[in-house]
Structure 1
Amino acid sequence: MTTPAAPRHPPLSPRSLLVLLGALALSFLAARLGSIATVPNLAPWYEGLAKPWFTPPNAAFPIAWSILFALMGFALWRVAMLGEGAARRRALAAFAVQLALNVGWSFAFFAAQSPLLGMIEIVPFLVSILWTIAAFRPIDGVAAALLCPYAAWVAFAAVLNAAILSLNG
Structure 2
Amino acid sequence: MELFRVDGKMDGKKLAVAIAVPLIGGAAAGWLANRNAQDKFKRLDKPGFAPPPATFPIVWNILYTTMGIARYRAGMSRTHKGMEESFPPYNIQLGLNFLWSFLFFKWRLRGTALIEMTILLGAIALTAERFYREDCTAGLLMVPYMGWVLYALALNASIWEKNDLE
TM-score clears 0.5: yes
Counterpart for residue 136 of structure 1 = 131
Counterpart for residue 118 of structure 1 = 113
Correspondence list, 1:1-169, <5 A: 9-10=5-6, 11-13=8-10, 16-83=11-78, 84=81, 85=83, 88-89=85-86, 92-169=87-164
TM-score (norm 2): 0.88
The one-letter code matched in structure 2 to 1:65 is W
Q: 2: CA distance between counterparts of 1:137 and 1:18?
A: 22
Q: 2: CA distance between counterparts of 1:152 and 1:106?
A: 18
Runs of 4+ in 1 over 4 A off after TM superposition: none
Q: 1: CA distance between counterparts of 2:126 and 2:53?
A: 29
Q: Residues 115-166 of structure 1, C-alpha deviation per residue, up to 9 Å, x if partnerless? A: 1121121011111000100111110010000010000000000000000011
Q: 1: CA distance between counterparts of 2:151 and 2:67?
A: 17
Q: 2: CA distance between counterparts of 1:111 and 1:37?
A: 8
Q: Structure 1 vs Structure 2: percent identity of aligned residues?
A: 32
Q: Which runs of 5+ in 1 are unaligned?
A: 1-6
TM-score (norm 1): 0.87
Tell me if structure 2 keeps the 8 A contact 1:27–1:73.
yes
The one-letter code matched in structure 2 to 1:160 is L
Q: 2: CA distance between counterparts of 1:137 and 1:159?
A: 26
Tell me if structure 1 keeps the 8 A contact 2:47–2:155.
yes
